[in-house]
Amino acid sequence: MTCRSERRGRGRSLFLVAMLLAFLAAVIGRGVQLQLLEGKRFYGAAQKQRKRSIPLVSNRGNIYSRNLKELALTLQVDSLYAIPNELEDRKAAAKTLARLVSVDQELIAKRLSNGKSFVWIKRWVTREKAQQVRDKFARGIDFAKEGRRFYPLGSLAGQVLGFAGLDGEGLEGLELAYHRIIRGRPGSLLAERDARGRFMLPGGTKVTGRIKGHSLILTLDKNIQYIAEKELKRGVIAAQAKRGNVIVLEPASGEILAMANWPPFDPNYFWKYRASQWRNLAITDMFEPGSTMKIFTVAAALEEKVLKPTDLIYTEQGVFRIGRRVIHDVHPYGWLSLEDVIKVSSNIGAAKVGLRLGRRRLYRYLKNFGFFAPSRVDLRGEEGGLHQPLKRWSNITIANISFGQGIALTPLQLAVGYAALANGGFLMKPYLVKKVVDDKGRLVNENRPQVVRKVISTNTSKLVRRMLMRVIGPEGTGRRAKVDGYAVAGKTGTAQKPSRRSRGYAPGKYVASFVGWAPAENPQILILVVIDEPRGVKYGGVLAAPVFKEIASQTLAYLRVSPDRLNEIIVETEAKDQLTVSRYVPDLSLFSNQDKELITMPDFRGLTLRQILELASHKGIQIKTRGSGIAVWQKPTGGSLIRLERVGLVKLSAASRVTLRQKN
């Protein structure tokens, strides 16, 4: 019996030991599992219980002009928040905060009593207000540093820059288009809590994970942008117009130097403006281009060799019937050369050119000039133009489109198309952002000039340029765009606005425009001016051309573009009390096909000084005169071929001298 009892006792002991060992093994195994295998997960869960992460506004990169002037930057400002559990008297706190930071007291009281452990009171508090709050509260109220977007030049280029909202999200303009690049990493406010979930203050919060975004260097020139906005404002106010816009770009590269809109808006206070004022009219608003379209029709005809500059077109004395429709000219004309069609801006002449060209060729060239698709500029919300499908183009459709009706473009599309005329026939992709750099200034990306396609030949571009230079002459519709010291090429436009309520056009509503470049032979800048819904006078040559002149003259001087005193006539009286400067364009029909440097010398004998000036201006000859009288002798003789650099003399009966110098 004793042996059996001993065996039973040892068995129980062994069982207990085994159970104890198994329990210890389970505990150790569970400990290993918790510490080694699942330690990170439980640590993260504990951190979530102990800490709270509140997202902050991102520290966006800066935006600079091409001159490296700051157009948009991010400032670190205080944002006010509350820990309601730390406040002894929430009603009193709401009353005090409402008085100090100008927030509705009931709204603050509601936030403090909504049961949340963290609430924002006001974002972006001034330094003075923040100090006043700190002086009043020891617990439960604190500040976090957040990035606030600031535009140091106010409304300058406001529609181009756009703005970022209170949450740091880009909402308009470049701020929206490049949001992902310039936003950076927002970061968060990390605060510790006790076992009851209360935030532990002071010193219990910190900002983590914030990385500044990349910065943009634009093609915009701050000074040219200022010039464009200043002169556009004057032009719109003088015309009593509804709105207007200006584009200045480099024809050779497609870089946009200025993009101005009126009325403006200040992105620092974007909430104070109507949403319509945020729009960048250059890319969002379409209009019928009117007479500015005629040169594209003529360029297509020249490229296809349908017509030559000197070919004559009968313009029907101002009334041209196509089926049941009638096309009118402002002034009645008979036979006009192709270049005169552009100079006097004949609707009938352009319509006949388009009809001779045909719908398929006209459509192809307009498409190649970029008028039926967005230009792909680096902005959001760009429109692509409006037109009827090609299969619906009747003769009246062709005629209307040829002189700028029945087709709608954005200002940027029109400017880019003219740039192709100016630069030798290359359609360039326009762009606003030149470089992207990181917060250390290192290059991340760079945009370079990009040729979309070759539209017309270099020779056609030269012919078109000479035609547009005649528009600026004394008999052209764009004479008010003349810039002293520089040859200018350009075209006026006056277009009716389609009615929004019915078919046809709205009575009394027009768009006046002018687009051109300078210097004409070596284009450095191209400028488009659009004046929308002026009152009274409606013509682009009267309203938009003077704005072009002011912007061009100031911009050329700013860029230090040397004057090209070509084709000038300087008239000085014998007493030196009068000085007149004018500019004229050579008559291409006078040039020999074999030698483009030769020109026929006019015969000035028997002409008065005034008649000499008139004839010389028609031939594009530069004249310097002193005195008065009738021409009795000249060298070289009339009818002889001279080279462009030759100098001629005309002797007047009053023994005065006239010096003739042909354009280089």
Residue type, 483: V
Q: Which two tokens stand for residue 571?
A: 């008239």
Could you tell me if residue 437 is left (phi over 0), alpha (psi between -120 and 50 degrees) or otherwise beta? beta
Strands 433-437 and 443-446, by their bridges, are antiparallel
Secondary structure string (H, E, C) spanning 362-397: HHHHHHHCCCCCCCCCCCCCCCCCECCCHHHCCHHH
Of 281, 152, 275, nearest to 229 by C-alpha is 281
CA distance 435 to 449: 12
Give the angle subtended at the CA of 289 by the CAs of 406 and 231, to the nearest 5°.
155
Rounded to whole angstroms, the Cα distance separating 96 from 135 reads 12
The token duo for 501 is 């309520």
On the CB side of 588, CA atoms within 13 Å amount to 19
CA–CA distances in Å: residue 662 to residues 35, 568, 599, 623:
95, 10, 9, 8
Question: Which residues, at least 6 apart from 139, have a Cβ–Cβ distance to it below 8 Å?
Answer: 83, 86, 87, 201, 202
d(CA 193, CA 332): 87
Distance from CA of residue 616 to its chain's centroid? 41
Cis amide prior to 602 (ω within 30 degrees): no
The residues carrying an active-site annotation are: 291
DSSP 8-state assignment for residue 345: T
Only one residue has tokens 């089926």, namely: 323
Contact indicator for 482, 489 with CB cutoff of 8 Å:
no
| Nearest by Cα to 239 from 452, 532, 569, 620 | 532
Instruction: Quote the CA–CA distance of 560 and 223 in Å, as a whole number.
Output: 13
d(CA 58, CA 585): 57
Are 375 and 412 in contact by the 8 Å Cβ rule? The answer is yes
Partnered with residue 651 across adjacent β-strands are 633, 657
Report whether 633 contacts 606 (CB < 8 A).
no
Distance CA 469, CA 488 (A): 6
Helix (H) or strand (E) holding 526: strand 525-532
